[in-house]
Structure 1
Amino acid sequence: MTRYWKVEEAKANFSRLLRAAEKEPQVITRHGKPVATVIPGAQEAPKPPRSVWELLRGDFTFTPPEGEDWDSDWLERDRTPLAEPLDLGDGENTEPRA
């Protein structure tokens, strides 16, 4: 059974907390609200993203609002070329996109 530890209790009994966490997740609370969970080492914690792009890539699920039906091509990139050059402020790459 998962145990809830107050921060002070977790600090004072850290070794016991770790031993208990080897068996099942242990929740640490502050002012009665969960702030951290210590999980067994066999259950790997999710690794932080290595870059912003990896973070943004994520797994997204898009669903239409109730009563609407989206066909499969509803999310497509706008490939319309720019009418004017794109100024990136560095004096380069000012040609319109094709």
Structure 2
Amino acid sequence: MNISHREQKRVKLKQFLEILSEDPLLLNQDGLNEMRPLSEILMISGYQPWHEPVDMASVLSLLMRKLGVGAGSADMMEYMMNGGSVEDFMNTETQVVHRRN
């Protein structure tokens, strides 16, 4: 049975989102991390969808750049799919960017 490229991407995304949902850094810790509205996140990131669906991968990459992380959403996805955590990824990538500067 041949699985299409689109289906493979869908399955990988589903696995990634499941991993993210279980990451300790992203779990809501007794309401300490207030959720921001999407409109505010888009404004902070500088993303401009131009009457198209919002590409959350691009938004995440823009937000990471604002935090001084040189890697993008695809790098984060690959890192986490290989057993890493959000915290480790952010710490590692931020240190790499600071060493380059």
TM-score range, shorter chain: under 0.3
- The answer to which structure has the higher helix fraction is 2
Q: Which has the higher strand share?
A: 1
When the two structures are superposed, what TM-score results if normalisation uses the length of structure 2?
A: 0.20
Q: Rg bigger for which structure?
A: 1
